[in-house]
């Protein structure tokens, strides 16, 4: 049970990190256009 919870936490962390990177790239692109 605890191992599965750890796997889920890692998966959520990776997804959140990926979204953060996409958001940062988008923000830089918007700033570059202004």
Euclidean distance between CA atoms 34 and 25, whole angstroms = 15
**C-alpha closest to that of 22 among 34, 30, 11:** 30
pLDDT of residue 3: 63
- pLDDT tens digits, one per residue of 1-34: 566 778 999 999 999 999 999 999 988 888 888 7
pLDDT of residue 5: 77
Separation of first and last alpha carbons in the chain:
50
Euclidean distance between CA atoms 12 and 32, whole angstroms = 30
pLDDT of residue 14: 97
Q: Whole-model pTM?
A: 0.55
pLDDT of residue 28: 87
Buried (b) or exposed (e) across 2-33, using 16+ Cβ within 10 A? eeeeeeeeeeeeeeeeeeeeeeeeeeeeeeee
pLDDT of residue 18: 96
pLDDT of residue 2: 61
């Amino acid at each position: 049970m605890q191992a599965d919870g750890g796997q889920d936490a890692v998966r959520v962390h990776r997804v959140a990190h990926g979204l953060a990177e996409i958001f940062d790239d988008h923000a830089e692109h918007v700033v570059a256009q202004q």
